[in-house]
Chain A
Amino acid sequence: MSAIHIPHELIEPETLTGRDLTQDIRFDTLGTRQTLVPSEPFGWELRGRVPGFGLVLKGEGDLPEWVLATVERLCDLLWLNADWDSYGASPVDRLTVELALDLLFAIMQKTSPLPSVVPTSCGGVQLEWHTAGIDLEIEIEPAGSIDVFFCDQQTNREWEGSLGSDYSAITDAINSLTERNARAPLE
């Protein structure tokens, strides 16, 4: 494997307050693949390795319920080889995973339900939720475009479109999903 220049960012402790989840990501050239685990002293710290670089996420307060499984799943996608779908699909793009993480930390609440995370054939990532009468799909492509589909069976509201820098529409969708999921009776 040829040498890769990995940008480094100094991680500062982040403050988690409700939806105000922010992150800095520092990339190190680590050794063999590691499992993501929570650790001190910042409140929570996740470390893992994806092809060619390492991933470190840190935050204060309690680890949001959705973070560990979702970050693990996103990192798992980066290990897929070309043609992972048997129809010539491209490997998942690292920058797309970064964008997916940025987006999730911008829109998710601490108790938001876990998304399904799937790769797309051109190397992108799709985040999707199908619960509480809501269908939400967010497709992030390697070029950075974000396409969204939303359907609420209870209100009969449905919309589809491309997302710019304003995440308010999907933030509202996640808020609805989170509130309704919290009210759903336990089975």
Chain B
Amino acid sequence: MPERSYVNDPNIRNEAALWRRIAPCHLVRDDNLGELRPTSAAFTNSSDGSPMSILIADIVQDTGRDPSDLLKPFPGYSLASITAGLARDQNQVVLRDTFGDDPTEPAHGYVAGHKTKAVKRALSRNATWIVPPKNTL
């Protein structure tokens, strides 16, 4: 399989919200921030080496879906949001899935780039809840 090139899509504005599902086991209590937030381990590239998957909020909304609709197949999960600008500030590129990796999801996209611990921390600490966790730790 030829190596892919992940190129930043300038049509995705810096203000654009990028959503990521958060598994129940990826919630941590941050007493310094006084909140329950996703762990930095939730903002990483996939174990097969592919970039971090996200959903582009604008496209989700254009398809008439509610954020909670996205989590119906994933009971117990929550939904966190970062901005494309935050990701780019961390030397990541943001792009739509033009490879057809998830043909059933038109909003599927990627945040691609090497993710150091500092990068993952920046993404997790600046994430906001779209669908917050139901239970506190």
Contact between A130 and B48 (Cβ–Cβ < 8 Å)? Answer: no
Judge if A85 is at the interface, Cβ distance under 8 Å.
yes
The 8 A CB mask of B100-129 against A (1 = contact, 0 = none) is 000000000000000011100100000000
| A131 contact set on B, CB distance < 8 A | 31-32
Interface size on B, residues (CB 8 A): 26
| A122 contact set on B, CB distance < 8 A | 47
Contact between A84 and B23 (Cβ–Cβ < 8 Å)? Answer: yes
| B31 contact set on A, CB distance < 8 A | 130-132
Contact between B23 and A121 (Cβ–Cβ < 8 Å)? Answer: no
A121 closest partner in B (C-beta) = B47
Judge if B33 is at the interface, Cβ distance under 8 Å.
yes
Judge if B46 is at the interface, Cβ distance under 8 Å.
yes
Contact between A137 and B47 (Cβ–Cβ < 8 Å)? Answer: no
Contact between B25 and A160 (Cβ–Cβ < 8 Å)? Answer: no
A128 closest partner in B (C-beta) = B28
Judge if A70 is at the interface, Cβ distance under 8 Å.
no
Contact between A119 and B47 (Cβ–Cβ < 8 Å)? Answer: no
| A121 contact set on B, CB distance < 8 A | 41, 44-47
Considering only residues 97-147 of chain A, those with a C-beta below 8 Å from chain B are 116, 118-123, 126, 128, 130-135, 137, 139, 147
Given A86-B21, A133-B32, also A120-B44 (CB < 8 A)? yes
Contact between B25 and A84 (Cβ–Cβ < 8 Å)? Answer: yes
State A123–B47 Cα separation when bound (angstroms): 8
A77 closest partner in B (C-beta) = B25
Partner pick for A90 among B29, B30, B44, B47, CB 8 A cutoff: B47
Contact between A130 and B47 (Cβ–Cβ < 8 Å)? Answer: no
Judge if B88 is at the interface, Cβ distance under 8 Å.
no
Shortest distance from the beta carbon of A56 to any chain B beta carbon, whole Å: 25
Partner pick for A119 among B28, B32, B40, B41, CB 8 A cutoff: B41
Contact between B39 and A116 (Cβ–Cβ < 8 Å)? Answer: yes
State A171–B73 Cα separation when bound (angstroms): 42
Partner pick for A85 among B26, B30, B32, CB 8 A cutoff: B26
Binding site for B on A (CB under 8 A): 77, 80, 84-90, 116, 118-123, 126, 128, 130-135, 137, 139, 147-149, 153, 160
Shortest Cβ-Cβ A-B pairs, 4 listed: A130-B30, A131-B31, A116-B28, A149-B117
Beyond A116-B29, A126-B40, 5 additional pairs, beta carbon < 8 A? A85-B26, A116-B39, A120-B44, A130-B32, A132-B32
| 10 A–B contacts, CB within 8 A, in A order | A84-B25, A118-B25, A119-B41, A122-B47, A126-B40, A128-B28, A128-B39, A131-B32, A135-B32, A147-B117
